[in-house]
Amino acid sequence: MDVVAPMAPRKVAGKVARKVVKATPADLMEDTGTGLDYGTRPDRMPGYLTPTDRFFIRSHAPTPHLDAATWTLRVEGNGVREPLAYTYDDLWHRFPLVSVTRTLECAGNRRVLLGQQFGRTFHGTQWGRGAISTAEWTGVRLRDLLEPAGITPGACEVMPESLDEIRARRPMPLAKAYADDTLVALAMNGGALPPDHGFPARLVVSGWLGAASIKWLGRLEVSEDALYVPWNTEDYVLIGPDFPARGPAHGPVITALPVASLVELPWPARLRPEPQLVRGRAFAGENRVVSVRYRIDDGPWQDAPITSPHLPGAWVRWQFDWNPAPGDHVLRVRATDDQGNTQPDSSTWNELGYLQHSVLAHPVHVQYG
Ligand SMILES: Nc1nc2c(c(=O)[nH]1)N[C@H]1C(S)=C(S)[C@@H](COP(=O)(O)O)O[C@H]1N2
Ligand SMILES: [Mo]
């Protein structure tokens, strides 16, 4: 498939059946054409949090309809002494509820832009810039659900498994499962989790690629052995000449996401030649974003002040004033995190088109009227 006008929402209505529940109006969400995957439009992000109605959706199979009254979450595997199962009611009432604000981003976000860098199309969902959103998640710490099962001294991995058609699985080390901000979420932005986002319960694995945050959770396997499943051997791994295979994995397994930034304007953008505020976001996975700089055309790099809290695992907002002259301009933004990582000038080629996070040349056309 050739990408001609990659950042414009693609008009595919009538071709592919929608397999999600919530409305995905074209003025709020980018339709990637799969019937399953809808991005948040970067120019339609009102506040710090992404409203639930426009939070991006990335699903490999249709949204399942699960009944909370009969649903259970099992904890089992050779890394527990006593396998057990929780009901929906248990999760709400037997454990401390915690709320965290965290960003989810798909490892394939900006895949179309990676394709532009290399003059090709990478297979996979044709994401522009919309596969990233932030919500306040409320639920139970994963470790609080694991401990009652009696974790063995040799346990090393925890693998959530879903109840949708694809039985999605993605293991993580025990230490990440035990982190304060690894949650089994029951609510999102103060409302019950909507069907498309994992009702009755989903994982939220802070700072990691979205695929770790398994939706429609049904089972947690605790293991004394390294676990290999499609999502850590052939998908969501970096494959290519720069990335040697590692045992059963075709390349390094993607975990925490790299620093990247986003301008809250359409691509290409059209502005009027008048003083205005340009806004955006930056996200650095498990790290904190500490600075954002921008450059117009060949001008100097300048500071774009951060205007929101700096939380690890959640994006920041930044802004700058601009009084653009009529004509065509290129806007570049470069974010840096607290570990000294900064957005590179180009991203690394990998077969599946993941982790585009380099500085983008955002086209801006300025004219009267
Ligand atoms: N069961 C299940 N969980 C899943 C997925 C899926 O297809 N099935 N997609 C994953 C991927 S690739 C991403 S990026 C996030 C997206 O979460 P969202 O749809 O709530 O934005 O969910 C993850 N969890
Ligand atoms: Mo994803």
- Ligand 1 centroid to residue 213 C-alpha, Å: 6
Residues in contact with ligand 1 (CB, 6 Å cut-off):
55-60, 104, 106, 162, 164, 168, 197, 210-211, 213-216
Which residue has its alpha carbon closest to ligand 1 atom 9?
59
- Identify the nearest ligand to the CA of 355 by its number: 2
The widest CA-to-CA distance across the chain, in whole angstroms, is 70
Q: 260-366 adopts what CATH topology?
A: Immunoglobulin-like (2.60.40)
End-to-end CA distance of the chain: 35
Cis peptide before 200 (omega within 30 of 0): yes
What confidence score (pLDDT) does residue 6 get?
37
Q: Are 132 and 283 in contact (CB under 8 A)?
A: yes
What confidence score (pLDDT) does residue 53 get?
97
Q: Which of 290, 283, 307, 319 is nearest to 101 (CA)?
A: 283
Signed CA dihedral, 174, 175, 178, 181: sign only: negative
What does the alpha-carbon distance between residue 167 and residue 331 come to, in Å, rounded to a whole number? 42
207: its two tokens: 């700072």
What confidence score (pLDDT) does residue 7 get?
39
- Ligand 2 centroid to residue 229 C-alpha, Å: 16
On the CB side of 35, CA atoms within 13 Å amount to: 10
Q: Residue 337's beta-bridge partner residues?
A: 289
| Global pTM value | 0.95
Q: Which of 253, 263, 276 is nearest to 366 (CA)?
A: 276
- Measured in degrees and rounded to the nearest 5, phi and psi for residue 81 equal -85, -35
Which residue has its alpha carbon closest to ligand 1 atom 19?
57
- Ligand 1 centroid to residue 218 C-alpha, Å: 14
98: its two tokens: 């915690």
- Identify the nearest ligand to the CA of 107 by its number: 2
Question: Which residue of 106, 133, 215, 216 sits with most ligand 1 atoms within 8 Å of its CB, as the best mutation to test the pocket?
Answer: 215
DSSP 101-139: EEEEE-TTTTHHHHHHHHTS--SS----S-SEEEEEEEE
Which residue has its alpha carbon closest to ligand 1 atom 1?
215
Q: Are 40 and 134 in contact (CB under 8 A)?
A: no
Domain ranges of the chain: 260-366
Q: Which atom from ligand 1 is nearest to the alpha carbon of 58? A: 19
Other CB atoms within a 10 A radius of the CB of residue 174 amount to 17
What confidence score (pLDDT) does residue 246 get?
86
What does the alpha-carbon distance between residue 198 and residue 211 come to, in Å, rounded to a whole number? 12
Q: Show pLDDT as tens, one digit a residue, over the chain (369 residues).
A: 333 333 333 444 557 899 999 999 999 999 999 999 999 999 999 999 999 999 999 999 999 999 999 999 999 999 999 999 999 999 999 999 999 999 999 999 999 999 999 999 999 999 999 999 999 999 999 999 999 999 999 999 999 999 999 999 999 999 999 999 999 999 999 999 999 999 999 999 999 999 999 999 999 999 999 999 999 999 999 999 999 998 999 999 999 999 999 999 999 999 999 999 999 999 999 999 999 999 999 999 999 999 999 888 999 999 999 999 999 999 999 999 999 999 999 999 999 999 999 999 999 999 998
